[in-house]
Amino acid sequence: MDKRITEHDILEQETKLYQAIKESKITLLDELLHNDLLFILPSGEVITKAIDLSTYRDGALKVYELLPEVENLNIIDDMAVITLTMRLKGTYNDSPFEANYRYIRFWKKFDDGIKVVGGSGTAI
């Protein structure tokens, strides 16, 4: 299997991720996130894939508006590092929020697809 990935591959995966987040598509999120994912939330808390999926499954996080703007995208063999800013509007535990964030995500190609293996988000 060819382990190389392209910028197009990553932007396509990012678009799928945005759709999964906005529509709370648990099955798609499950496909896009690696089982060993580690992600640092804006609060500083480190979460796993299971925690992330349960946030959407339980309806704790609902995103109504998601406006991404890619800043950097570096391809490193079978991995990609992307930084972007994102305007998010939604509710968390029924409390409305609207804020700008900067994210970094690490995508890696596996035999069963390209998946997020790690990342972080911070309010800006």
63: domain CATH number is 3.10.450.50
Query: What pLDDT, on a 0 to 100 scale, did the predictor assign at position 25?
Result: 95
- Tell me: the pLDDT tens digits for 6-28? 999 999 999 999 999 999 999 99
pLDDT band at 3, cuts 50/70/90? confident
- Tell me: the pLDDT tens digits for 50-97? 999 999 999 999 999 999 999 999 999 999 999 999 999 999 999 999
Is residue 106 a part of any domain in this protein? yes
pLDDT band at 114, cuts 50/70/90? very high
Structural domain range at position 20: 7-123
Question: pTM here?
Answer: 0.94
Count of all residues that appear for the chain in the document: 124
Is residue 2 a part of any domain in this protein? no
* Residue type at position 59: G
Is residue 1 a part of any domain in this protein? no
Q: Please state the domain count of the chain.
A: 1
